[in-house]
Amino acid sequence: MVDAAGGEPVRLTYHPGTDVALGWTPDGGRIIFVSDRATPHDLPQFYTVPLAGGLPEELPLPAGAAASYSPDGTHLAYVPYFQWEPDWKMYRGGQTTPIWIADLSDSSVVKIPRSNSNDRNPMWVGGTVYFFSDREGRFTLFAYESKTRTVRRVVANDSFDIQSAAAGPGGIVYSQFGMLHLYEFASARTHAVPVRIAGDLPRRRSHFEKVKPEQILWASISPTGKRALFEAHGEILSVPAKKGDVRNLTQSPAVADRSPSWSPDGKLIAYFCDESGEYALHLRTPDGLTAPRKIGLGQKPSYFYSPQWSPDSAKIAYTDKRLNL
């Protein structure tokens, strides 16, 4: 479990088998998940586990693959078994998946009407069970009214199959051809959803990174020979020949700093940087403590290579992708 805004995840189950979270109980106090912890066969079962931690509790159903609680928590809309080949378009063999509605008090079931179609991803909202199905060709969104026991198509689809969906306040979000769309209950219309993801991933956290030799793309030696400059991971590193610390002179994540070159008088370091969106020439002191001087090079867009200082440290020669010197 992890906060919606990001952060450290909290572990809730500890069985060595596969536990797959499916959703929440209506009161928000427990998570329903499916697991094969009790069987070596292809019949995973439903369990719930409290958010505060503790032992999982098995639901009174023999098997299942996906599920959604009724708002009062007394019934469960679920897919009763796993499908081995879910991407086989218009499949009508023995693996087609129905959706059943179980009364958790006595485990009796009501089957949503179908004719050997693939019905998936039940989502219970109010008195309606939404799901997607290929009963009319391409996978699209349907609704089952629990009171009248009738099925209706909710979203017309003459494009690519809907791949997944989830219900939330006011609508259902679904994935189609690499994009997210929202079906709104109030207007019965759909629209695309722009996505912004906060990725609290381990590799994005502050950490030490060992620079391997094959990751060094450029090198330059100081006039005294006591230190060397290296370009690696888009940063400019100053490394001592014997004693001392490695200095990251640029410290510029998401910016490419390239091709460092030490001036003959030892006072400046030149390198190319795309901080502005176009490569420019940057000049900075070897200690990296002051802001660099930035020189635009024109001829946008372009790449620049091989900065070489004149012997008096007054000029820099370089080439560009247009083969100019």
Q: Are residues 274 and 149 in the same domain?
A: no
Q: Are residues 243 and 148 in the same domain?
A: no
Q: Are residues 178 and 228 in the same domain?
A: no
Q: Are residues 106 and 217 in the same domain?
A: no
CB 153 within 8 A of CB 162: no
CB 8 within 8 A of CB 2: yes
Enter the tokens of residue 190: 């759909």
Q: Report residue 213: phi and psi, to 5°.
A: -55, -40
pTM: 0.60
Range of the domain at 248: 210-320
Give how far the C-alpha of residue 229 lies from the chain's centroid of Cα atoms, to the nearest Å: 36
Tell me whether residue 163 is in a domain: yes
The CATH number that applies at residue 31 is 2.120.10.60
Tell me whether residue 11 is in a domain: no
**What is the Cα–Cα distance from 238 to 266, expressed in whole angstroms?**
13
Q: Are residues 114 and 57 in the same domain?
A: yes
Q: Which residues pair with 236 in a beta bridge?
A: 231
Q: Report residue 55: phi and psi, to 5°.
A: -80, 140
**Residue ending a domain, choose from 193, 227, 243:** 193
Q: Give, for all 325 residues of the chain, the pLDDT tens digit.
A: 888 888 888 999 999 888 999 999 999 999 999 999 987 777 899 999 999 889 999 999 999 999 999 999 999 999 999 888 888 888 999 889 999 999 999 999 999 999 999 999 999 999 999 999 999 999 999 999 999 999 999 999 988 999 899 998 899 999 999 899 999 999 999 999 998 877 777 777 777 878 899 999 999 999 999 999 999 999 999 999 998 999 999 999 889 999 999 999 999 999 999 999 999 999 999 998 999 999 999 888 899 999 999 999 999 999 999 999 9
Enter the tokens of residue 285: 């002191």
Number of domains in the chain: 2
For 181-218, give the DSSP string.
EEEETTTTEEEEE--------GGGS----PPPGGGEEE
The CATH number that applies at residue 262 is 2.130.10.10
